[in-house]
Structure 1
Amino acid sequence: MLQIGDQAPDFTLNTTSGEPFRLSDLRGQRNVVLYFYPKDDTPGCTAEACSFRDQYQDFQDLGAEVIGVSSDSEASHQKFTQKHRLPFPLLADAGGQVRKRYEVPRALLGLLPGRVTFVIDKQGLIQYVFNSMSRATDHVSTTKDVLKKLLADG
């Protein structure tokens, strides 16, 4: 898996509206919380997404954009976004190409895509990696702490 200090691989994926999202478009502007999750509308993934939603303004105040990625389709992401009123983009990684570039491991004996969160600074460097299937909402609180430190360090 990619490590702290590595350059975050650039990518382009479609959002729920079918618009292309390019990670490099945020370089120099905002820190990014890029979280990979297994599947829309499952209990852990819903708890994680809603936790990011409920604290989204905190992330904005910390100068960061939250981006969710799974291999679900744009249509699935659209339903998930509408159902839970998610204010941040979900990206459709059909075939898992971006997941592979970020070296996100599979979980539960290789049966499920893993749950990993990366904090990427404005220069495109990975500043934090959190990998846990069972502690879905911990991804949110720990990334906020990292962003606070990045903001304090200037």
Structure 2
Amino acid sequence: MQVGEVAQTFAATDHRGEPFDTAAFRDKRPVVIFFFPKAFTTGCTRQACAFRDSAAAFQALDAEVIGVSADPPEVLRDFAAKYNLPYRLVSDADGSLRKKFQVPRSMMGLLAGRVTYIIGRSGRLLDTYNSQLSWTQHVTVARAALEAESKAPAGAQATTSA
């Protein structure tokens, strides 16, 4: 997916057992989807907690935040409970969402990629950020892209570049 293209949508059940469809957010609110390798690991915990710590900022931007990993739903429930994560977590045990979003593997193909997709209210991709080690930078890039979109004139497409 390239910046400016209409982003993929998907239907899923979150860690609380609640079904949702990202297509329902189109033309209503922006969406931040962050893919992370594995719950309870150092980098993933720091990344998830950084999104948690910025929840008020994302709420002020009316953004829906969704975390995706290959962990099973029960692990994601425990992860969300332990770290008080206020957003949806989705299990992608079969890798279909990673494939749909073209999330590359990293570290010589050994690790599932850590990529964040920032989707504007219109459903178009505003920006992406791909970094296995800059865990909290995913939040910074997502907020900057959404803030730029919120300040852009109607019909204009605001993008940032990481």
Give the TM-score band, short-chain normalised: over 0.9
Alignment partners' CA distance in 2, 1:10 and 1:118: 12
Provide the rounded CA distance (Å) in 2 between the counterparts of 1:19 and 1:87: 14
Q: How many residue pairs are counted as aligned between the two chains?
A: 153
Question: Going by fraction, where is helix more abundant, 1 or 2?
Answer: 1
Work out whether 1:42 is the aligned partner of 2:80: no
| TM-score normalised by L of structure 2 | 0.91
- Structure 2 gaps of 5+ residues are 155-162
**Alpha-carbon distance in structure 1 between the residues aligned to 2:20 and 2:111:** 25
SS of aligned partner of 2:94: helix
Partner of 1:115: 114
Alpha-carbon RMSD across the aligned residues, in angstroms, is: 0.9
Q: Which residue of 1 aligns with 2:158?
A: none
Equivalent in the alignment of 2:150: 151
Higher relative contact order (CA 8 A, sep 6+): 1
Task: Name the % identity.
Answer: 41
- In the alignment, what sits opposite 2:22? 23
Name the CA distance, whole Å, in 2 between partners of 1:139 and 1:84: 18
Partner of residue 98, structure 1? 97
Report the counterpart of residue 131 of structure 1 in structure 2.
Answer: 130
TM-score, normalising length from structure 1? 0.96
**TM-aligned CA deviation for residue 21 of structure 1:** 2.1
- Give distance in 1, aligned partners of 2:92 and 2:72: 8
2:89 matches 1:80: no
User: Match for residue 32 of structure 2?
Assistant: 33
